[in-house]
Copies of this chain bind each other. A is one copy, B any other.
Amino acid sequence: MALQSVSGRTQSADTKTRILDATEDLFVEFGYESMSLRQITSAAQVNLASVNYHFGGKEALIQAVLSRRMDKLNDERLKLLDALQSTQGAALTCEHVLVAMFLPALRMAGFDEAGGPRFLRFLGRAYTDVSSVVQDFVNGHYTSSLGRFFDAFQQTLPQLPRQELGFRLHFAMGAVAGVLASSNTNRLVHDFTRGQSDDEAVVIGRLAALMVAALNAPLPDPAQLDALKTIIARADESRAAESSR
């Protein structure tokens, strides 16, 4: 029986794959800037020089790691969106589009298996890592597909001005990425699916509920704005009274 790594992979794969796997693990754990080639090659049990031989350098390596997962994810998302758009036509809803966004990721995570939710953390990292190497690559590979989803959302939410929709999507997608990237997605999924068998729908349902709520929030209302201004004014009065006590 082959040795098992933490993420449940066998170590009998070829050098290139072992490097990719080890890099992915360390990227999830520490982020791009914090991981060194020495850490990677040590974890992968390969020679230090093999990274440059197979990939050319650290930057090309992380791009290969990202590409391995996200090219497929991107593809699946777009195909699913196509399928839903052609079968639903004008009946397409916000929930359909959200399913097209999240279902492929959950399928790829395959969170029935052991190392499942780790892929969701990987996705979260990819979207939240501060390194410009990662950011630029992700932006470059997603702007095209993001446009498709933007248009689809616009179709299901015609009352929202484009600019407002852009802000709300930015808000909501940032939230999802942050949730996925942050601590213990395993526990998150477990909490969601406690005692339920159809995990996928439950997880999507929980995230979609919040996203739909945010996307469908009422547009800024002058009356509410006035109410807010009153609260702020009262708050200032309270603080003034507090500090002069």
By a beta-carbon cutoff of 8 Å, the part of chain A in contact with chain B is 30-31, 33-34, 79-80, 82-84, 86-87, 95-96, 99-100, 103, 125, 128-131, 163, 167-168, 170-172, 174-179, 182, 188, 191, 198, 200-202, 204-206, 208-210, 212-214, 216-218, 220, 224-225, 227-229, 231-232, 234-235, 238-239, 241-242
Which residues does chain B contribute within 8 Å of A188, judged by CB atoms? 167
Contact in complex: B232, A99 (CB < 8 Å): yes
Output the least CB separation between A23 and chain B (Å): 16
Q: Using A84-B231, A84-B235, A209-B218 as known contacts, list a sample of 11 further A-B pairs with CB atoms less than 8 Å apart, ordered by residue number in A.
A: A34-B130, A95-B227, A130-B130, A170-B179, A170-B182, A172-B210, A174-B177, A178-B178, A204-B228, A205-B224, A212-B217
Contact (Cβ within 8 A) A83 B242: yes
> Are B174 and A179 touching (Cβ within 8 A)?
yes
Instruction: Report A77 CB to chain B, min CB distance, Å.
Output: 11
Contact B131 A128 (CB under 8 A): no
CB proximity of A91 to chain B, nearest CB, Å? 11
Chain B residues within 8 Å of A86, by CB: 238
Q: What are the 6 closest A-B residue pairs judged by CB atoms, nearest first? A: A174-B178, A175-B175, A213-B217, A83-B238, A31-B130, A33-B33
Contact A82 to B242, CB < 8 A, known contacts A130-B128, A214-B214, A228-B204: yes
Within the oligomer, what is the number of copies of this chain? 2
Contacts of A235 in B (CB 8 A): 80, 83-84, 99-100, 103
Contacts of A191 in B (CB 8 A): 163, 167
- What is the bound-complex CA distance between A95 and B227, given in angstroms? 10
Q: Nearest CB to that of A163 among chain B residues?
A: B191
In the complex the two chains form, what is the Cα distance from A233 to B198 in whole Å?
12
Partner of A128, one of B103, B128, B200, B209: B128
Assembled-state Cα–Cα distance A163/B130 (Å):
29
Structural contact, A228 and B99, CB atoms closer than 8 A = yes
- The smallest beta-carbon distance between A234 and chain B, in angstroms, is 7
**Most chain B CB inside 10 Å of its own CB: which residue of A31, A95, A238:** A238
Q: List 14 A-B contacts (CB under 8 A).
A: A31-B130, A79-B242, A83-B239, A130-B130, A171-B175, A174-B174, A174-B175, A174-B182, A178-B178, A202-B220, A202-B225, A205-B220, A206-B220, A210-B217
Taking CB atoms, residues of chain B closer than 8 Å to A129 are 130
Q: Which residue of B lies closest to A243 (CB)?
A: B79
